[in-house]
Amino acid sequence: MKYVHSTKFRVKDSNHLLDKLHRKMLSAKEGKEEFNITDKNLFSQINDLAGYRILHLHTHQMGDIDRELRAVLEEYRYTIIEEPSARTWDDENRGYFNSLGIKTINSPTMYTSVHYIIKPNKRTDSSCEIQVRTLAEELWGEVDHTINYPHPSPSPACREQIKVLARITSSCSRLVDSIFETSRTHKP
């Protein structure tokens, strides 16, 4: 817990779930694929019905958080069904996450977060998403999620301001990383 600033938990809102299922159905139709989500497999096919978010202060805590999170999941017999992936648009973050062995996914929306998909050791087939991000990335995510997700804002100015906020967020995270590194290397 020394790496964790705070945590959040949420259950997907039913309207957001309906919207997500509709988008997945349209995508399957456009791709001439079968829409294979049913009431019997919903809990295993939709990985973010429940979500747990771990917030931390600076990017370079991610290596320690990954190690500790894996140990906790192993202790409680949770299975990681999708290895962690870092959604990022930033080349420096991409390099850092790759150095930790965390695969990266390009994020054209300028979203940054590390995601784990886990499932408990129980009879009911279900999964959950764990997101790990800095407090600065959380601020950007909350603003974007409120105004621009899952459907882009109709305002071009708003969409542009959210991109600017993503760049400021990245700069803020770098500054916090630098402050902690300076503090670590200049102890009396």
State pLDDT tens for residues 136-145. Answer: 999 999 999 9
At 57, phi and psi to the nearest 5? -80, -45
DSSP 155: -
Measured distance CA(132)–CA(138) in Å, rounded? 9
Q: Which structural domains are found in the chain, ordered by start? A: 6-134 (3.30.460)
102: closest CA among 139, 127, 65, 52?
65
pTM: 0.89
The pLDDT of residue 58 is: 95
Q: Is the pLDDT of residue 122 over 90?
A: no
Q: Is the pLDDT of residue 187 over 80?
A: no
The pLDDT of residue 125 is: 82
If you average pLDDT over residues 129-140, what whole number do you get?
A: 96
pLDDT band at 24 (very low <50, low <70, confident <90, very high): very high
* 12-22 pLDDT per residue, tens: 888 889 999 99
At 147, phi and psi to the nearest 5? -105, -30
What does pLDDT average to over the chain? 93
Q: Is the pLDDT of residue 44 over 90?
A: no
Q: Is the pLDDT of residue 1 over 80?
A: no
53: closest CA among 125, 136, 150, 138?
138
Q: Is residue 84 left, alpha or beta, with left meaning phi > 0 and alpha meaning psi from -120 to 50?
A: beta
The pLDDT of residue 81 is: 93
If you average pLDDT over residues 62-66, what whole number do you get?
A: 97
